[in-house]
C-alpha cells in the first residue's frame, strides 16, 4: 500500500463522523459526553479525563431525541467504543 492510499476500512458497519452532545445515564449519575462517530450498532464517545463510566448505561442524544441502551466494548483514555441497541 502506498502512503498516499486511504486506510482500508475493516469495520462491518462504516461509521459516520458526527459531533453531538450526549449524556450517559447510569446508577443515579449523569455524565456529559460527546458522540464522535456513530452507526446503527455503535458509537465512539468522549468523556472528560478521569471520569469513570460503567459498563452498561443509557445514552441520551438530545439532538436526535433518542435514548439508546449501550454497553462498553473498548476503552482508551477518555474515548469509549460502545455497542448501542
Average pLDDT over residues 71-75: 97
Distance (Å, whole) CA 23 – CA 36: 13
Beta bridge partners of 39: 42
Q: What is the pTM of this model?
A: 0.80
Q: Domains in the chain: how many in total?
A: 1
Residue 36 within any structural domain of the chain: yes
Banded model confidence at residue 74, pLDDT cuts 50, 70, 90:
very high
Contact yes or no for 21/62 (Cβ under 8 A): yes
Give residue-wise pLDDT tens across range 9-18: 555 556 678 8
The reported pLDDT for the residue numbered 17 is: 84
Residue 5 pLDDT greater than 80, yes or no: no
**Range(s) of the domain holding residue 72:** 16-84
The answer as to whether 35 is a domain residue is: yes
Looking up residue 37, the CATH number of its domain turns out to be 2.40.10.220
| Average pLDDT value over all residues in the chain | 89
Q: Is residue 10 part of a domain?
A: no
Amino acid at each position: 500500500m502506498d502512503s498516499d492510499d486511504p486506510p482500508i476500512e475493516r469495520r462491518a458497519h462504516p461509521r459516520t463522523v458526527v459531533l453531538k452532545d450526549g449524556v450517559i445515564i447510569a446508577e443515579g449519575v449523569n455524565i456529559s459526553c460527546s458522540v464522535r462517530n456513530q452507526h446503527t450498532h455503535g458509537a465512539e464517545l468522549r468523556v472528560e479525563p478521569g471520569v469513570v463510566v460503567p459498563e452498561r448505561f443509557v445514552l441520551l442524544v438530545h439532538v436526535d431525541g433518542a435514548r439508546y441502551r449501550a454497553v462498553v466494548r473498548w476503552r482508551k483514555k477518555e474515548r469509549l467504543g460502545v455497542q448501542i441497541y
